[in-house]
Structure 1
Amino acid sequence: MSASTPSTEPSQPVAHSNESQDPKLIHVAAGVISDAQGRVLIAKRPIGVHQGGLWEFPGGKLEPDESVEQGLARELDEELGIQVTASRPLIRLRHDYGDRLVLLDIHRVLSYQGHPHGREGQALDWQLPADMQPERFPAADRPVINALRLPSRYLITGPEPRQTDAFVAQLSQVLARTGARIVQLRAPDLEALAYAALAQACAPVCRQAGAQLVLNCDPDLARELPGDGLHLTEARLAALTERPRINRSLLGASCHSAEALAKSAALDLEYALLSPVQHTQSHPDATPLGWPTFAKLVDRACLPVYALGGVDEGDLETAISHGAQGVAGIRGFWSR
């Protein structure tokens, strides 16, 4: 008998509409099963079936009137011979393959009993998310890989970037205190040369902390600077007709609407920030979404989404329970 490591971020599932009863949709539940090394179990689809020969996260089609949790437990028992004892939602996706529509509910399996093995003769493998090759998975599964690679805390840098030494020192302290593994370098008031110098100073600090540095600047400037990603303002996102051609593995965008989220997914971005969830000091006149509206927007987003605006570490569980990848913040992380 074996059991996976329980999560430290419990949550309650978000209530969804009855759209899964739509006969045009194939509703699938799949599980992310991790081992102590952080590797994730994947299975190869049989040749001759839809998307045959590709790797996938174990699971299958729900039966009529079956909940996601019930279907996930049944499928993982039938496919792998394990009994799920706890799980939580990770991401919910829709994908149109042309010949079929798929609604995919992915859950993290927090604990289980038994030893996973291919009860249906399927090949299994354990892979780190960083080593997964998206082209070897069905298109519907590729945002799941992004979600597995992304952390739950997203740090956005705060004010005073003109005082470079103090700024970099604070960045180092915040990274050590929060454990954030993504840093967006936000300095909208800096000229290009000053921003470039600041990015050069921040890059080694992030590297030493094991954090990815995401640049928030013109894509042409970002091409010349060290960093792991590019973050797009909603205005830059709106101006795009295709994914920016930049040698960065992590692209995201700021969003305030369903339309912006849909465009982020259409451009194959890795994540989005959705705001404002709650009232903020920086934008006191902005109307907050509130958690119910946030959850409805995320449910249709088809990519990992962070909650931003009036949230901090204490809202992490709430954010996850409403479909978020995690929480992002300036004041919530930087200024504390």
Structure 2
Amino acid sequence: MAELPVIHVAAGAIKNQQGEILLALRSPGSHQGGLWEFPGGKIEPGEQPRQALQRELREELGVEVEKCRPLIRVSHRYPDRKVVLDAWLVSQWRGELHGKEGQPLSWVLPHELHRWPMPAADKPILNALNLPDTYLITPPGVESRERFLRQLEKVLESGISLLQFRVFGLEDRQLEQLAREACLLCQEHDARMMLNGSVVLARKTGAHGVHLDRRRLLSSCSRKDYPDLLLAASCHDARELQQAQHLGVDFAVLSPVLPTMSHPDAEVLGWGRFQELCAEVSIPVYALGGMSVDLLQQSWVRGAQGIAGIRSLWPGL
């Protein structure tokens, strides 16, 4: 069997001040013609992805990119070719944006992007656009329910919009009640709560999704077991990341990237290995272990959706 040609593409998820993302319609005669896409094009020999992005957006839309960052890298196999897509989030540009090639353009809110017909290679970008750059994990121990909820409200007021409820050591009834109260707080602040536990408990408490630990990840068989829920997984190596992608999770957490106080003896991946592992899958991946907000930019450069953390994001730890 002949090896498929590999097409390396740079694409821009251009975001305006209203939070909308720009889509362009592919010409009918092109590959995947008639579908909506994130503007961009092939990376020429000798070009870096960012250089290609700047050139393509200048040629297609008549604008100069002033501010952008890596978003996600996607590999997708079509029947006739393999596409490697370097997607960038573009937040600032210069010039009047218009379709220089006559292509129709449309601004779309991120949560509505799934309604637009797109090439399959573009679809993992939708998850990345609908996730924040910071993922909070609650401390595992709760000494005082009232203090826990006060601290949770404080982090939600600071802007955290995605968190994992991960609490151990409580009786089932206490755990369910605390998770329900935490979820109500999240809803009041337009945040989403992932429950580290069973689907049944997630349903009972109103959680927006389920976060799988290693055991649940490796024993899960189908995404259909988690209908209408966000799904995430904790991963530590290539095998677990591949299982997460095969299962169809919305995002993963990969750890430990750097030394951490909670697991001082754990073997760390380091940024180099983290980047290699992220490049092997086409799902958003958060970096966990030794993270702080100061490392957010570093995480993007290394292929992460952003950072995940407990100690650095939770008050009083």
| TM-score calculated relative to the size of structure 2 | 0.93
- Paired residues for 1:115-126 under 5 Å: 115-126=96-107
- Match of 1:224, SS state, is helix
From 70, 91, 96, give the equivalent of 1:89: 70
Query: 1:13 matched to which residue of 2?
Result: none
- TM-aligned CA distance change 1:166 to 1:248, over 3 Å: farther
Contact 1:90 1:106 in 2 (8 A): yes
1:188 alignment partner, one of 168, 171, 174:
168
Pairwise CA distance, 1:242: 1.5
- Cα separation, partners in 2 of 1:141 and 1:287, compared to 1, 3 Å: same
Q: Which amino acid aligns with 1:169?
A: R
2:53 equivalent to 1:72: yes
Counterpart in the other structure of 2:126: 145
* Structure 1: distance between partners of 2:46 and 2:4: 13
Which residue in the other structure is 1:267 paired with?
247
Q: Distance in 1 between matches of 2:222 and 2:307?
A: 27
Q: Please give the residue correspondences for 1:1-336 in structure 2 after superposition, counting only pairs within 5 Å.
A: 24-133=5-114, 136-161=117-142, 163-177=144-158, 179-334=159-314, 335-336=316-317
Deviation at 1:273, TM superposition (A): 0.4
Contact 1:182 1:214 in 2 (8 A): yes
Give the C-alpha shift of residue 66 in structure 1: 2.1
Q: Distance in 1 between matches of 2:187 and 2:91?
A: 30
CA distance in 1, matches of 2:80, 2:12: 24
- Unaligned runs of 5+ residues in structure 2 are none
Instruction: Write the letter of the residue equivalent to 2:172.
Output: A
Segments of 4+ moved more than 6 angstroms: none
Q: CA–CA distance in 1 between the matches of 2:228 and 2:308?
A: 20
Return closer, same or farther for 1:124/1:40 CA change in 2, 3 Å cut-off.
same
SS at match of 1:276: coil
Q: Which moves more between the two structures, 43-52 or 89-98?
A: 43-52
Q: Distance in 2 between matches of 1:135 and 1:238?
A: 33
**Structure 1 112/240 Cα, relative in aligned 2: closer, same or farther at 3 Å?**
same
Specify every segment of 5 or more residues in structure 1 that has no aligned partner in the other structure, as ranges: 1-21
Q: Is the 8 A contact 2:36 2:116 kept in 1?
A: no
Aligned residues of 2:69 and 2:300 also touching (Cα < 8 A): no
CA contact 1:134–1:145 (8 Å) conserved in 2: no
The Cα shift of 1:269 comes to 1.2
Alpha-carbon displacement from aligned partner over 1:81-112 (angstroms, at most 9, x marks no partner): 11223322111111112321000001122432
Answer yes or no: is the 8 Å Cα contact 1:134–1:142 preserved in 2.
no
Q: Deviations over 1:215-247 (max 9, x none)?
A: 111123223320211111111111122214334
CA contact (8 A) 1:161 1:198 kept: no
Amino acid at match of 1:117: H
User: Do the aligned residues in 1 keep the contact of 2:164 with 2:195 (CA within 8 Å)?
Assistant: yes
